[in-house]
Homo-oligomer: A and B are copies of this chain.
Amino acid sequence: MTGDLFSPQCPTRTLLDRIGTKWMSMAVKVLAETGELRFTDLRRRMPGVSQKMLSVTLQNLVADGLAARRVEDTVPPRVHYRLTELGESLEVPLAALREWAEANVAEIVQARGRST
């Protein structure tokens, strides 16, 4: 039922809201490109993200079943993240959106310039 998409209660809508989150798509991209990564490495590859926002983002990914968390029981503990199959399947439409953005960003920046 596509019509439900318009209901505020529609879970698809809440899902899209979460995917649209600032760091979500970036984390998915990085994980899709690199496979399994540790928290700190992940952070290094996502310039501008704070520890808190990265951990919140990762918690959301894990809660949604898009990523898996694995703790190595060393001291200090090392925490690894990787995409699940579901997460990898999300990367496909997400990549399409990124490609669209890269292809059209020039035109849009131009449009913004005109409107200011």
Q: Is the CB of A96 within 8 A of B93?
A: yes
Among A5-19, those with CB < 8 Å from B are 5-8, 11-13, 15-17, 19
Q: Is the CB of A98 within 8 A of B12?
A: yes
Cα–Cα distance between A63 and B115 once the two chains are bound (Å): 6
Q: Is the CB of B104 within 8 A of A86?
A: yes
Pick the contact of A15 from B5, B26, B108 — CB < 8 Å? B108
In the complex, whether A111 has a CB less than 8 A from a CB of chain B is: yes
Q: Is the CB of A111 within 8 A of B64?
A: yes
Indicate with 1 or 0, residue by residue over A10-49, a CB within 8 angstroms of chain B CB atoms: 0111011101111001100100000000000000011110
> What is the interface size of chain A, counting residues whose CB is below 8 A from a CB of the partner?
50
Q: Is the CB of B20 within 8 A of A109?
A: no
Pick the contact of A8 from B5, B47, B112 — CB < 8 Å? B47
Indicate with 1 or 0, residue by residue over A100-116, a CB within 8 angstroms of chain B CB atoms: 11101101111110110
Cα–Cα distance between A101 and B64 once the two chains are bound (Å): 12
A-B contact pairs, 5 of them (CB 8 A): A6-B47, A7-B47, A12-B98, A19-B101, A63-B112
